[in-house]
Amino acid sequence: MLCLLGFSTQAQDFKDSLRIAGFENVQIVEAHDSIKVFFEHREFRNPYYSMRFAGLVVNTKSLEETEDVSYIPVYHNIPIGKYNSEDYEYSVLNKDEKEFYNRQNEVFKNYRFSIRIHPEVISRFGFYSDPFQTKFNLNLDTRIYIARGLSVQTGIAVPIVNNLDNQSLQLRPAPSMVHYFNQPWNYNFIAASVGSFYNNRYGLDLEYRHADLSKRWSYGVAGGITGFYWFNGMNLYNEPMDDLYLTADVEYRLPIENLNLKLTAGQFLYKDKGVRLDLIKQFAAAEIGLFASATNAGTTTGFQFAFSLFPGKIIRTRKLEVRTTEEFRWEYTYNNVDPVGQNFRLGMPRLSDVLRQYNQHFLHSL
């Protein structure tokens, strides 16, 4: 009994320290020779750093050498997998761990109110009269969890500059959606979103991905039915939801310096059928990709990059957090006249971009 009490106070101590360090939904399972730490850390894009951070916090609390530590990072309220603290080896959660998490996962109590600063930059180069046309908005949004894996993302968009089109500089609603994320069976992930998205699309978006995070292969399908919308201040204009996209992709992690090859085929936005090949390099702090697409609409090449914005945390108290976005992504297409192989952005990373970060080969290389 005394012994159990000792464990629970230590666990409580860990939980408090982790919460102060910015972790949310922290749950700790302690046995006599092991400790498992569930947590969500929304500020960091790369889970390697949230695990390293958790390790530092826990280790400074005088862990015994013999204790075996594993981390269970949670993304959008769903545990992704279990990682050994020694070499980031991935394994799936067992039944007890899942049940423990579900019991402890109190979505209203375990999270801060998190305000995210998420810039949006849309540029078009090359027109002679105005070679650098840019629209720049600062989107202030939040994600509130309402049930296991279910969340609402909403906020306001603060337009800063616009010499691209005639959208007004009045405040307008930021892309807002209801989002559901889950791992119903091991290695199988689903994400569903309903609402307004980036790139002026609104409607429904579904993604499924099979990814054993200890393997090099993963594949997925994505589809959605969307329409065009446009806010001028609070005035909404929208067109019918009648554009269907449906794509399938296969991704392979090359055994070369964190390079990934991804082949996507199907019907893209604007009923454009074709293929797109991505070469994606993962760095610890960023992702840089090259791509080439060939569709009915034509061919194009381009690049994209994604990184967390500096400085990350701005304000953090027990109940509130203001931070910069965990992922700013930007894509440049050489062919900027015809939309070739286009898709829209949701306002959160897509499944393949999320799960690529959790691959054990990547984490092990860092």
Q: Which residues contact another protein by CB under 8 A?
A: 21-22, 43-44, 46, 49, 52-53, 56, 60, 125-129, 131-132, 256-257, 259, 279, 281, 283-286, 288, 290, 294, 299, 301, 303, 308, 310-313, 334, 366
Nearest-5° Cα angle at 305, 81 to 249: 55
Phi, psi angle pair for 168, to nearest 5°: -75, 165
Q: Where does residue 120 rank: exposed (0-12), middle (13-18), buried (19+ CB within 10 A)?
A: buried
Tokens of 170: 């009045």
What is the nearest approach in angstroms of another protein to the Cβ of residue 142?
19
What SS3 class is residue 75?
strand
Nearer to another protein, 184 or 311 (CB): 311
Closest approach, Cβ 22 to another protein, in A, equals 7
Closest CB to another protein among residues 180, 362: 362
For residue 261, how far is the Cα from the chain centroid?
Answer: 19
Closest distance to another protein from the beta carbon of 340 (Å): 11
Place of tokens 């006599």: 32
Contact 155, 177 (CB under 8 A): no
Nearer to another protein, 123 or 168 (CB): 123
- Residue nearer to another protein on the CB measure, 131 or 240: 131
Give the angle subtended at the CA of 64 by the CAs of 62 and 68, to the nearest 5°: 120
User: Taking the complex as a whole, how short is the minimal distance between the CB of residue 109 and another protein, in angstroms?
Assistant: 23
Q: Which is nearer to another protein, 248 or 279 (CB)?
A: 279
CB of 48 to another protein, least distance (A): 9
Query: What tokens were used for 354?
Result: 């999320």
Query: Based on CB atoms, which residue is closest to another protein, 132 or 185?
Result: 132
Which of 157, 340 has the CB closer to another protein?
340
Among 30, 56, 81, 106, CA closest to 12: 30
- Quick one: 52 or 350, whose CB is closer to another protein? 52
CB of 299 to another protein, least distance (A): 5
Which of 313, 79, 63 is closest to 71 using CA atoms?
A: 79
Cα–Cα distances in angstroms (integers) from residue 69 to residues 31, 172, 191, 258, 366, in the given order: 10, 46, 30, 26, 18
